[in-house]
Structure 1
Amino acid sequence: MRLALVAIIVASLADPALADTTSGAGFDVTSYDLALTPDMQNETVAGRETIRLRAIDDGLSQLIFSGNALTIDSATIDGVPASPTLKADSLTFDLPRPIARGRTVKLELAYHGHPARGFARSATALYTSYFACDWMICRQNDFGDKAAFSLALRVPVGTDTMSVGRMVSKRPGPDGSEIQRWKAPRPYSAYLYGFAVGRFVSVSETAGSAKLTYLSDVADTAELKHRFAPTREMVRFISDKAGVPLPVAEYRQLLVKGDEAQEAATYSVIGMDELPTKADDPDQDWAIVHELFHQWWGNLVTCASLTDFWLNEGVTTFMTAAWKEHRYGRAAYDAELDVARSRLEKVRAKGLDKPLAWDGHYPTLGTRRAIQYSEGALFMDHLRSTLGDAAFWSGLRRYTRAHAGGVVTSIDLERAMEAASGHDLRPLFAQWVFGETARP
């Protein structure tokens, strides 16, 4: 059986979160286990994957995943051959018979192909960026479905690899290859999966009990230390504000060419063009800290769906301003929020003002960002001004601690802020987050 699956290119390429094709699929993935052979030169991949899942609806009859451009070579459901089909931009497997809620299923796949998105390469390295479900079978936009993840990468001997969590084994493979297996420390949302292969210089230091490792195929150890020097202080600052230490035992940052700025579970990819060109310039200081913040808000505490995506990005955008206040002073904080305010005013001028938890269709990526990133940051600043620093930061710590490792909606943040401040925040959240008529 061979089936080429073509991803929707129009809206989803412009905005990875414009279309949510897998929400309400009726099942919860418990684990993704992959054995992958990436081809750096041709930017292709061949793999075998086992997906274990549990029905959360009675009468589940289909398994729906995000569509992509991979060719499925074989598929079985609990050992029975299955034929996937492409419906809109989703990859669908029909179950042999409907199953009851609570029943577990094992889907096994073999595939190969050239991912339409999600791969980037240099002369000596290949790394992934955001679109995990273009190089594996998964559910890209179902943020609330956190699953265990392991990845065995088959690469030429002497090749360095990086993925989620830590390398748990390395063994010889066929034809001069070796197999390096990585395992995530906890369940994560699928959009946070990733890997890199190549030849990397690396250097490490500690931040409290955590290890910080910097890698690159374009910089030496001296430059890595210089470029990522602020990371230790950033970790201390965020840990204090979150009330939770860095939630990974080792945090890696991969420095590459270009303008990349992308978080993944337990690591980030940062492009040289996104780093400050001169020291102590608050205008340029954002990429390292923004992606680092996501280890707490986005990765550890994750929005349940795209409706509450501002809890990932608005909180992190606000915290970037808070970091600038800490490092450079109040003027840098205000300047950062002025940037957010300017972006929001541009979409409002076009009649596109929406509440933060709006579940409608955003016409462009810029519009989504203006609302969920910029307006989200401005709302957090408004909460801070309304409640005062003591109650605000106490509420953020309460929110982060209570939901560490889990998924959240806007109501969870409201309740944490109300508990910390003693104020009824329903009118404020109704106005900013839900819309005036969204709640009684």
Structure 2
Amino acid sequence: MAGRETITLRATGDRLQRLGFTGNALSIDSATLDGVPVAASVQEDVLSFDLPKPLARGRIVRLALTYHGRPARGLSGSATSLYTTYFACDWMICPQDRFGDKAAFSLALRVPTGMDTLSVGRLIARAPTRDGGEVHRWKAPRPYSPYLFGFAVGRFARAGDRIGSAKLSYLSDVADTAELKRRFAETSQMVQFLSDRAGAPLPVSEYSQLLVEGREAQEAATYSVLGVDALATKADDPTEDWAVVHELAHQWWGNLVTCATLQDFWLNEGITTFMTAAWKEHRYGRAAYDAELAVARGRLDKARAAGFDKPLAWDGRYPNLATRRAVQYSKGALFMDHLRAILGEDAFWAGLRRYTRKHAGGLVTSMDLEKAMEASSGRDLHPLFSEWVSGADNASEPPPPAAPAPAS
């Protein structure tokens, strides 16, 4: 692939001398800062640009890049389609794990005439090119964390629905319109349930679900990529619709309300894992809720049996991805269930609504959830959050080898 990219940035420290991004397999062909050439280098998985002179705090500049290469991660597809996955910073220049660096995003895709595209936000323009192709221009509705950037290109069957003013779109190159309608028949009911529990409507005016081969289950800023093998094969099967509701829930918890750093990633994933169980309780009954949490408990028990259990906001390195998920996803969901049992229905859901509405569009830490739950319940929850979330007594333990940040 080849691309041109412009990044507008502001220096948050004084005398900034170097810009750092996630290293990848792309080759930088040219790089300029406000028109002045800058040199690029990669060391220890960090792509750096040394600046011709230091930047003062508050200075706004434009880094213009051209690049080409074959991304090592972040792109998947079939004979008829191409789509991005979690590792956005393998196909563009960005900071993958700096969730607090939300950015406005627009993307122009040059594709053959007749191809369909999907990206963040909405399609704002479609124009022919001199070589017989087309350029599709997409624009995000608000700033998002870079890992949520993405796109897809293919010849897609389409179906859709509406809920209130929001448009729901279903796309695939492996299923026809009838199958799309069947597989995503309950998306509108899920939106209604999650909107009620969040105290806020679906945060985007159009939400799309792209059905592909395999077991893909990944949220992007305004859409999700879902593999056929990750979806239910039987109607009304409470064990098999987790991927649809989990990735949809990220539109509120993760995309709209975002953990400031990877340390509090459980706020993204633990809450959405819990909300998957809550949906199943709403749709199928208490037994389905208990069964979903039993899965989470089993994963955490497996990590504990291997000698690894950490507080939810532990700032160390995990030995592998499964263990990271056992803590941030599974233990996070179990903590939300524990809060619900202690606070009661009214106070718990009021606290989640308060947390979601207050921090919509912003960044959060675990303290923000603690304050919201305390305000709704009138109780001092600091000892409980200290036990489950901060765990200061574990801070001195040496870290194991690093594990990568998890995709959803």
1:250 maps to 2:203: no
Letter in 2 for 1:277: T
Distance in 1, matches of 2:213 and 2:43, equals 37
Number of corresponding residues: 395
Deviation per CA, 1:223-279, whole angstroms, max 9, x where unpaired?
000000010100000000000000000000001111111000000010000111111
- Alignment check: 8 A CA contact 2:88 2:149 kept: yes
Q: Following TM superposition, by how much is the alpha carbon of 1:350 offset from its aligned partner in structure 2, in angstroms?
A: 1.7
Aligned to 1:110: 66
Aligned with 2:132 (options 176, 190, 198): 176
Aligned with 2:346 (options 390, 394, 416): 390
Aligned to 2:364: 408
Distance in 2, matches of 1:206 and 1:283, equals 26
Aligned to 1:139: 95
- Alignment check: 8 A CA contact 2:310 2:394 kept: no
Q: Following TM superposition, by how much is the alpha carbon of 1:436 offset from its aligned partner in structure 2, in angstroms?
A: 4.6
Aligned to 1:373: 329
Aligned to 2:285: 329
Aligned to 2:223: 267
Alignment of 1:329-368 (within 5 A): 329-368=285-324
Deviation per CA, 1:149-193, whole angstroms, max 9, x where unpaired?
000000011111000000111111131111010000000000000
- Alignment check: 8 A CA contact 2:89 2:95 kept: yes
Distance in 1, matches of 2:85 and 2:355, equals 29
Q: Find the residue that maps to 2:370 and give its secondary structure.
A: helix
Q: Find the residue that maps to 1:188 and give its secondary structure.
A: coil
Q: Find the residue that maps to 1:318 and give its secondary structure.
A: helix
Aligned to 1:21: none
Distance in 2, matches of 1:373 and 1:112, equals 35
Q: Following TM superposition, by how much is the alpha carbon of 1:122 offset from its aligned partner in structure 2, in angstroms?
A: 0.9
Aligned to 1:293: 249
Letter in 2 for 1:375: K
- Alignment check: 8 A CA contact 1:156 1:176 kept: yes
Distance in 2, matches of 1:149 and 1:427, equals 40
Q: Find the residue that maps to 1:48 and give its secondary structure.
A: strand
Q: Following TM superposition, by how much is the alpha carbon of 1:219 offset from its aligned partner in structure 2, in angstroms?
A: 0.7
Aligned to 2:105: 149
Letter in 2 for 1:371: V
Aligned to 2:142: 186
Note the residue ranges of structure 1 that are not aligned, 5 or more in a row.
1-44
1:130 maps to 2:72: no
Letter in 1 for 2:106: S
Distance in 2, matches of 1:204 and 1:324, equals 23
Aligned with 1:69 (options 15, 25, 50): 25
Aligned to 2:375: 419
- Alignment check: 8 A CA contact 2:149 2:221 kept: yes
Q: Over aligned residue pairs, what C-alpha RMSD do you find?
A: 0.9
Distance in 2, matches of 1:303 and 1:201, equals 35
Q: Relative to structure 2, which stretch is displaced further, 404-413 or 429-438?
A: 429-438
Q: Following TM superposition, by how much is the alpha carbon of 1:285 offset from its aligned partner in structure 2, in angstroms?
A: 1.7
Q: Following TM superposition, by how much is the alpha carbon of 1:99 offset from its aligned partner in structure 2, in angstroms?
A: 1.2
Deviation per CA, 1:394-420, whole angstroms, max 9, x where unpaired?
000000000000010000000000000
- Alignment check: 8 A CA contact 1:214 1:224 kept: yes
Note the residue ranges of structure 2 that are not aligned, 5 or more in a row.
396-408
Letter in 1 for 2:331: E
Distance in 2, matches of 1:113 and 1:260, equals 24
1:162 maps to 2:134: no
Q: Where has structure 1 moved over 4 Å in runs of 4 or more?
A: none
- Alignment check: 8 A CA contact 1:164 1:195 kept: yes
Aligned to 2:270: 314
- Alignment check: 8 A CA contact 2:85 2:218 kept: yes
Distance in 2, matches of 1:137 and 1:173, equals 25
Distance in 1, matches of 2:87 and 2:309, equals 28
Alignment of 1:227-246 (within 5 A): 227-246=183-202
Letter in 2 for 1:332: A
Distance in 1, matches of 2:144 and 2:18, equals 23
Distance in 1, matches of 2:112 and 2:236, equals 41
Aligned to 1:54: 10
Deviation per CA, 1:317-371, whole angstroms, max 9, x where unpaired?
0000000000010011011111111110111112211000000000100000000
- Percent identity between the aligned chains? 72
- Alignment check: 8 A CA contact 2:31 2:38 kept: yes
Letter in 1 for 2:108: A
Aligned to 1:303: 259
Q: Following TM superposition, by how much is the alpha carbon of 1:437 offset from its aligned partner in structure 2, in angstroms?
A: 3.8
Q: Following TM superposition, by how much is the alpha carbon of 1:83 offset from its aligned partner in structure 2, in angstroms?
A: 1.1
